[in-house]
């Protein structure tokens, strides 16, 4: 009944007897392209190509060491240059094992090779948060090769556990910060939600950091559908498939086929979330206890959130970020399946955390440079640049008798710009240092007319050069609307002046012109 395989990561795998439609693999060679209806991808047609083996041999330099990307428990993965270099893909070549005999299925054990299962499932679903199938191929031994989207930035496992004994370990400079960690978590949650909400649902059964790959836009994609099951839990094929997964991520309540539900994926996702927060492995003998659940949940219950933060990056300055992540993770790993949240709820929870963490990205650099500005709780991120670790934004710091223009942006790109200091003749604004780290600028600010100290200071309308990637601070208390756009102001008008007087010397003013405002409103608050 199935098989057990363990690699260094202690993976347990078993076969999938029922989730299988041979039609795709039996197709004649002439039928080169298949169009299927996407389950998760809003009925978007997905073209699945059938490649010639020689084509893949050429594309991978005869599966050369140069093209080698990595090795999993079921096979090796190579980078392939297809269509005269116009398509870069990853080719998964399965290990010759008991599945790779003349029949693709082992009927006695009701087993389907993971590669066949992956083709079967991925040919029916397509989603931007998944590592999607491009095509497949069979070699002369009936061994299946999968051609999937190429993910140039490795796996989440590599990013989180950099410096470890993994050969693919990333240098510590690639260690993701909190914004990126929350964003990865949200993207994976969306992938799982899409699988669970497809009809029939797909249960991945092997959610873990090494199956989360990072694409060229630094977005997380969920891959490896070798163990996935497509069907309703009451379907005989789901009910009769033996449990499978990876130790450390496996739902402890999933002991028999009938125990399987989407909540098993929720459990594995909870483990992944704890791994993202703590930076430690799901099972790690260097910790006591070695199981991440046994280690983290008591700390979370005690409210000791600092203790589970990855100390390589430190805790975010807003304690609610880690608290919310930790509590969400703890709910996902509850031992009783029905008490775990649905993935839709997890997605909503992570969206809120993501907004919080984006506020910090704007607030923290400001706090380092400007004294006496409102705290992050007074700022609301309206839109953010998701492709960068940090929000790119220009901020004018308005002071009595002068102005400072501060460009802020991604820490990651580490480009440095200086703080311009035009007509500086007034009070100190408490800039810390003279260099500000930024990536690309998104806009410039119009001139500020500075009124004498103690008088209301208004924000000028800001015209953004680009409307695509931007971060905007908004405070309900400070917003001022005009026909030209909305304006934020510190200091305020007469009635507010006294109360907010102290902020006049450290005003932070940001606004948008009408066109940018309309564009912003069309965009979701956080779109991932
Ligand atoms: N689409 C891809 N693009 C780029 N690299 C990939 C891709 N798929 C896999 N890899 C690389 O190949 C490695 C092996 O992947 P594979 O999916 O076979 O195994 P795994 O998920 O690491 O382990 P297991 O098989 O135990 O689940 C990955 O860790 C990753 O580094």
Mutate to test the pocket of ligand 1, among 12, 70, 223 (most ligand atoms within 8 A of CB): 70
**What whole-number distance in Å separates Cα of residue 80 and Cα of residue 68?**
9
Q: Whose CA is nearest to atom 15 of ligand 1?
A: 72
Closest alpha carbon to 2 in 101, 113, 102? 113
| 132 Cβ inside 6 Å of ligand 1 | no
DSSP symbol at 73: S
**What whole-number distance in Å separates Cα of residue 439 and Cα of residue 434?**
16
Q: Whose CA is nearest to atom 23 of ligand 1?
A: 72
Closest alpha carbon to 371 in 428, 321, 291, 297? 428
Give me ligand 1 centre to Cα 213, in Å.
Answer: 8
* Residue 311 designated active-site: no
pLDDT of 187 reads 98
Give me ligand 1 centre to Cα 321, in Å.
Answer: 30
Give me ligand 1 centre to Cα 151, in Å.
Answer: 10
pLDDT of 325 reads 98
pLDDT of 97 reads 55
- Index of the ligand 1 atom closest to the CA of residue 77: 12
In this structure, what are the phi and psi dihedrals at residue 274, rounded to the nearest 5 degrees?
-65, -35
Give me ligand 1 centre to Cα 155, in Å.
Answer: 8
SS3 271: helix
Q: Is the separation of the CB atoms in 246 and 258 below 8 Å?
A: no
In this structure, what are the phi and psi dihedrals at residue 106, rounded to the nearest 5 degrees?
-100, 90
Residue ranges at the known binding site for ATP: 93
SS3 418: strand
Q: Whose CA is nearest to atom 11 of ligand 1?
A: 70
| 11 Cβ inside 6 Å of ligand 1 | yes
In 392-406, which positions are buried (b, 16+ CB within 10 angstroms) versus exposed (e)? Answer: bbbbbbbbbebbbbb
Binned at pLDDT 50, 70 and 90, residue 375 comes out as: low
Q: Tell me: the pLDDT tens digits for 454-512?
A: 334 343 333 333 323 222 233 333 333 333 333 323 223 333 333 332 222 222 323 33
Reply yes or no on whether the pLDDT at 186 is more than 80: yes
| 267 Cβ inside 6 Å of ligand 1 | no
| 9 Cβ inside 6 Å of ligand 1 | yes
Q: Whose CA is nearest to atom 22 of ligand 1?
A: 72
Higher pLDDT pick, 173 / 132: 132
∠ CA 297-298-303 to the nearest 5 degrees? 95
The ipTM, to two decimals, is 0.97
Angle formed by the axes of helices 178-197 and 262-278, nearest 10°:
170
| 76 Cβ inside 6 Å of ligand 1 | no
Binned at pLDDT 50, 70 and 90, residue 348 comes out as: very high
| 154 Cβ inside 6 Å of ligand 1 | yes
Q: Is the separation of the CB atoms in 79 and 67 below 8 Å?
A: yes
pLDDT of 74 reads 80
Reply yes or no on whether the pLDDT at 218 is more than 60: yes
Q: List Cα–Cα distances, 22 to 26, 113, 142, 200, in angstroms.
A: 6, 12, 14, 18
Give me ligand 1 centre to Cα 230, in Å.
Answer: 21
Closest alpha carbon to 272 in 192, 384, 387, 166? 192
Q: Which helix (H) or strand (E) holds 35?
A: strand 33-37
Q: Whose CA is nearest to atom 18 of ligand 1?
A: 72
Which of 84-98, 221-235, 407-421 is the least confident region? Answer: 407-421
Q: How many helices (H) and strands (E) does the chain have?
A: 13, 27
Q: Tell me: the pLDDT tens digits for 390-415?
A: 333 344 444 444 544 444 443 333 32
Biggest distance spanned by C-alpha atoms of the chain: 87
DSSP symbol at 160: H
- Index of the ligand 1 atom closest to the CA of residue 224: 17
- Index of the ligand 1 atom closest to the CA of residue 71: 14
Give me ligand 1 centre to Cα 198, in Å.
Answer: 24
Give me ligand 1 centre to Cα 77, in Å.
Answer: 6
| 517 Cβ inside 6 Å of ligand 1 | no
Q: What is the mean pLDDT of residues 275-280?
A: 98
Closest alpha carbon to 440 in 417, 474, 463? 417
Mutate to test the pocket of ligand 1, among 10, 65, 77 (most ligand atoms within 8 A of CB): 77
What is the 3-class SS of 283-351, one letter each residue?
A: ECCCCCCCEHHHHHHHHHHCCCCHHHCCCCCCCCCCHHHHHHHHHHHHHHCCCCHHHCCCHHHHHHHHH
pLDDT of 174 reads 80
Give me ligand 1 centre to Cα 153, in Å.
Answer: 12
Of the candidates 16, 116, 158, 206, the residue annotated as catalytic is 206
| 155 Cβ inside 6 Å of ligand 1 | yes
pLDDT of 238 reads 83
Reply yes or no on whether the pLDDT at 518 is more than 90: no
Q: Is the separation of the CB atoms in 359 and 367 below 8 Å?
A: no
Higher pLDDT pick, 100 / 498: 100
Angle formed by the axes of helices 262-278 and 292-301, nearest 10°:
80
SS3 32: coil
Q: For residue 498, what are the contacts with CB-CB under 8 A and spacing of at least 6?
A: none
| 438 Cβ inside 6 Å of ligand 1 | no
Q: Tell me: the pLDDT tens digits for 6-51?
A: 333 334 434 333 334 444 444 434 334 333 444 444 345 468 999 9
Q: Are strands 133-138 and 45-50 parallel, antiparallel or unpaired?
A: parallel
Radius of gyration from C-alpha coordinates of the chain: 26
The dihedral over CA atoms of 331, 337, 342, 347, expressed in degrees to the nearest 10, equals: 40
Residue ranges at the known binding site: 93
| 72 Cβ inside 6 Å of ligand 1 | yes
Closest alpha carbon to 263 in 211, 203, 222, 191? 203
**What whole-number distance in Å separates Cα of residue 246 and Cα of residue 444?**
50
| 210 Cβ inside 6 Å of ligand 1 | yes
């Amino acid at each position: 009944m199935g098989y057990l395989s363990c690699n260094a990561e202690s993976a347990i795998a078993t076969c999938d007897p029922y989730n299988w439609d041979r039609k795709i693999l039996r197709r004649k060679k002439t039928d080169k392209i298949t169009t299927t209806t996407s389950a998760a991808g809003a009925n978007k047609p997905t073209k699945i190509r059938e490649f010639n083996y020689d084509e893949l041999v050429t594309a991978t330099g005869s599966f050369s060491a140069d093209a080698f990307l990595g090795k999993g428990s079921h096979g090796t993965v190579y980078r392939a240059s297809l269509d005269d270099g116009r398509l870069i893909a990853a080719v998964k070549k399965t290990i010759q094992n008991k599945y790779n005999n003349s029949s693709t299925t082992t009927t006695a054990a009701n087993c389907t090779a993971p590669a066949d299962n992956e083709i079967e499932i991925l040919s029916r679903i397509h989603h931007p948060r998944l590592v999607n199938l491009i095509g497949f191929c069979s070699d002369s031994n009936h061994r299946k090769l999968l051609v999937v989207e190429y993910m140039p930035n490795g796996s989440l496992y590599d990013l989180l556990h950099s410096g470890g004994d993994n050969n693919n370990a990333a240098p510590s400079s690639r260690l993701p910060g909190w914004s990126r960690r929350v964003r990865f978590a949200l993207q994976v949650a969306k992938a799982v939600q899409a699988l669970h909400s497809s009809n029939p649902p797909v249960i991945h059964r092997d959610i873990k950091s090494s199956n989360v790959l990072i694409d060229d836009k630094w977005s997380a994609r969920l891959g490896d559908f070798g163990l996935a099951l497509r069907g309703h839990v009451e379907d005989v094929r789901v009910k009769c498939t033996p449990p499978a997964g990876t130790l450390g991520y496996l739902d402890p309540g999933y002991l028999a086929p009938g125990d399987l539900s989407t909540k098993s994926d929720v459990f594995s996702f909870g483990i992944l979330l704890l791994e993202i927060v703590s930076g430690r492995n799901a099972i790690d003998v260097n910790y006591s206890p070695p199981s991440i659940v046994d280690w983290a949940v008591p700390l979370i219950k005690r409210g000791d959130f600092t203790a589970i933060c990855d100390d390589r990056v430190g805790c975010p300055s807003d304690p609610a970020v880690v608290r919310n992540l930790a509590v969400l993770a703890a709910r996902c790993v509850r031992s009783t399946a029905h008490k775990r949240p649905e993935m839709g709820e997890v997605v909503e929870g992570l969206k809120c955390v993501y907004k919080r963490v984006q506020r910090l990205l704007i607030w923290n650099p400001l706090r380092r440079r400007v004294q006496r500005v409102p705290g992050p709780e007074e700022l609301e991120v309206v839109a953010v640049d998701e492709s960068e670790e940090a929000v790119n934004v220009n901020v004018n710091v308005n002071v009595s008798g002068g102005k400072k223009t501060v460009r802020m942006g991604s820490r990651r790109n580490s480009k440095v710009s200086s703080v311009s200091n035009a007509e500086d003749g007034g009070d100190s604004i408490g800039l810390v240092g003279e260099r500000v780290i930024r990536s690309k600028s998104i806009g410039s600010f119009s001139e500020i007319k500075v009124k004498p100290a103690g008088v209301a200071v208004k924000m000028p309308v800001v015209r953004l050069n680009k409307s695509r990637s931007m971060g905007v601070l908004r405070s309900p208390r400070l917003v001022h609307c005009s026909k030209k756009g909305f304006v934020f102001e510190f200091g305020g008008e007469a009635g507010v002046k006294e109360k907010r007087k102290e902020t006049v010397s450290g005003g932070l003013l940001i606004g948008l012109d009408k066109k940018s405002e309309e564009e912003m409103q069309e965009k979701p608050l956080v779109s991932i």
